Structure 1
C-alpha cells in the first residue's frame, strides 16, 4: 500500500505562508535580542502594538508584492524579488510610523540588524517552502466520476488550476461495464472496486463531474454513499475548479449556468452599495486631484511623442447594457482604428512610445474617475467593453451579458488576474473571473482587488 501523501489546499498554503512569514521574522528578531545587543525591537508586553504592526506590515506588503501568489512562491527568481521589495517597504514604513512602532534608535546599526533579520528569515523560510512544501511530492490524489469522453479535458483543466492534483483514475458515470482499462491515459476503475481502490491508493478526494442533469448509475451512487460514510471527501467538479482558480467554469456548466451559480447578495445589499458609493466618490475626488498634478507631465509627453488630442472618448457598455462615453488619456495614434475596431494586444503597434508608459503605469485611466463620479462606472467591476465587441462575444457566449448586472469598473477581479483580452478566447477567461466577482462580491474581495491593483501599478504591469 502506498504511503499517504501530504497535501495543502490552496487556501491552506496561503495561510501557511502568511503565518510562518511572521513567525520566521519574529523568531529571527528574538534570536537577535537574546544573542546580541539588539534593543530596537522588543517582545515585552508593553511593545505589543509594535509587534502587531510589524506583522501587519509584513502581510500587507507581502500581499502587494505577491508573496502569497502560489506561482510566485514556487519561482526562485520571483521569491528573491518579492522578498527584497517586501522587506524594504516593511522596514521603511515601520521606521516612519514611530507613533505605533519603536522610536528610531540612536545607533543606526540597529536598523541594519533589523533589516537583515527580516530579509534573511524570509529568505530561509521561503526557500524551505520552495524545496519541500511546494514540491510535487505533496500532491492530492483524486478519483473522478465522469463520462469517458470528458475525463481528458476535465483532468487537463484541473491540472492547469492546481498542478498538485494527481488523477489516480476515474469511474464511468454512464456504464457499469469497464470497456477499456485505459481511457486517454487514465485508468478506468470498476465501480465495485472503487472503495478498495480508494484505500489502496490513498485517494484523498472523489470528484463528481457530470454535465447537465445526467444521473449517476444507482450502484455507483451507493458506492459514493459508502465512501462518504467512511470519511472520504466527495466534491463536485465546479466547486473544486472554482476554489482552485477563483473563476467560474462556465463552459462546463453550459445551460445549467443560471441554476448553479447564485450571485452575491452584496449586489442588492443597500448598506454595502451605499458604503461603496461613498468610497467611490471619495476615491474619485482624490484620484482626479492626483491626476491634475500629473497633467503637466502628460501634456508634455503628449506634445513630444503623441501629437494630437490629449483626451479621447469612446462608447462602452455599462450597467444593464446602457451605453456611456468613457474618458481616457489618449495612448494610441490618432487614426488607430481606420480599418475598424480590433482588440488591443501585447506590443500593439498602434500604441505610441509615451502611450506605453501611460498604459503600463495606468495613468491613462485617471480621467475615468469622471465616469465614476457621474455614476457610469464603479471603482471595482468588470472592464467596460465596446458595443461591437459585446455583440461579437455574445454570439459565442449567450451568458456574456450577465456581467452587465453591475457597473463596470476601473479595476476588477479579471483585470488583476489576467491580461487584456486579445481574442474571444481571452474574453471567455476574463468572463469567468468577472462572474466569480459577481458571485462572491464583498468588502473583503474588493480590498483584495485594490491591493492587487497597487501591485500591478508598482510592478509596472499595466498594458
Structure 2
C-alpha cells in the first residue's frame, strides 16, 4: 500500500508540474512573469504544487483504491483511476483554474481535458507498473499469503490440489488444516502432510503461522453449521473465503474474489464497494463530529436533568458485540434506576418499573442514544447499521437464527432498518423478528439507503415514536 501512496503522490506532483508547463506556454496572461523560472516560483503555483497532489491522495483514499493492495483487477484499477482522477480534475478546475477562463485563449473545456489526460496518464502508468510487478511476484510464487483451510475431508483435499496444481500461483501458501467440531470422522488420508489443528486452537495457529487468509471447505454441513463456523472465525479479523458451490447457502450478497483458477467468494465482506465503505466511514466521522458539537447544549441539559433525578451515573456503560464480533463499550444516557440489572441481564418491558420518569421521555424521543455518536467517532459503531447486542443475547439468538452472525460483517449502528421498521425488542423472539430487517439492510446496503433510514429516524424522534 505504501508503494501505491508514494507512487500516486509523485505522479500527481509530476502531472501538476507538466500541466503548469502547458499553462505557461498557452496562457498569454503569464507572459508578464517573464521566464519559466519566475512563473514556477509564483506563490499560487507553489501552493498548488503542494496542496493539489494532497487533494488527489485524499480522493484516492476515499475511492477505496488502497484498501486492497494485492491481487488487484487490472480492469477495476483502470476504472477506479479514471473516475477518481476525473473527480479530482473537476474539483481542481472549479477551485483554481476556472478563475483563469477569461484569460485563457483556448476553450476552457480543452484545458479541462488536457488536465485530465496528463493526470490520468501519469497516475495510471505508475499504478500499472506497481501492480504488474506485484502480480508477477505472486504468480511466480515469490509472494504469497499464509493460509489455513477450514476442513479436513475430501473437499479440503481436493481444494488443496486445485490451489497448488496451477501453472501460476494464486498466492495461497497453505500452512495447515483446521478440524471443526462437526467433523467426527478421522482426518482424510488424502490430505497432504500438513499440521491439523482443532478449531478451538485456531487463534494460536493464526498467530504461530502469521495467517493472512482463511478458506472454508467442509464436506457435509447445513446452514447452521456453516454460520457457526463463520461466527467462530469473525473475531480473527481475516478474509474468510468459501468455494463457489456454497454460494446459495448464504443470505447476503457476496462477490467473487478471483475469476482465475478456483472460484472463491469472500464472506467476510458486506455488499458495499470499497469506495462506499470509505465514504460511509467519512460521513460517519463528519456527522458524529457535528452532532457532538451542535448538540452539546442538549447533552449538558440531559446530564443535569439525569443527575438531579436520582442517584447513579449520568452515562450508562454496557459491553456490546460489534464488527467482527469484537467487544466494545457502548455509551447511553441512563434511563433506568441505578443497578437495574443487579440480578443479571434483563430486557426492558412495557411499563417497566425500572425506567425513571425522565428516562421514559428520553426513550420516547431516543435521546438516550445521543452519547453513541462518541462510539461512532471512535470507530466502534456507524450512524446506520444493525443494532448491537450483548453477547448474552447473541448466544441465544444464534441458537435459533444462526444467520445472525452475518451482521458482524459491518459496524453496528445508532439507528437501523430494524429499529425504524420494528423498534425495540423485549425478548429473544422479537429480536429474531427484527433480524429479518437487519439482514434485508445487509443485502441492500448503500449510502442512499442509509440516508433514507436517517430521515425516517429523524421523523421517529420528532414524532415521539421511539417506544
Q: Tell me the TM-score range normalised by the shorter chain.
A: 0.3 to 0.5
Larger Rg: 2
Q: TM-score, normalised by structure 2?
A: 0.43
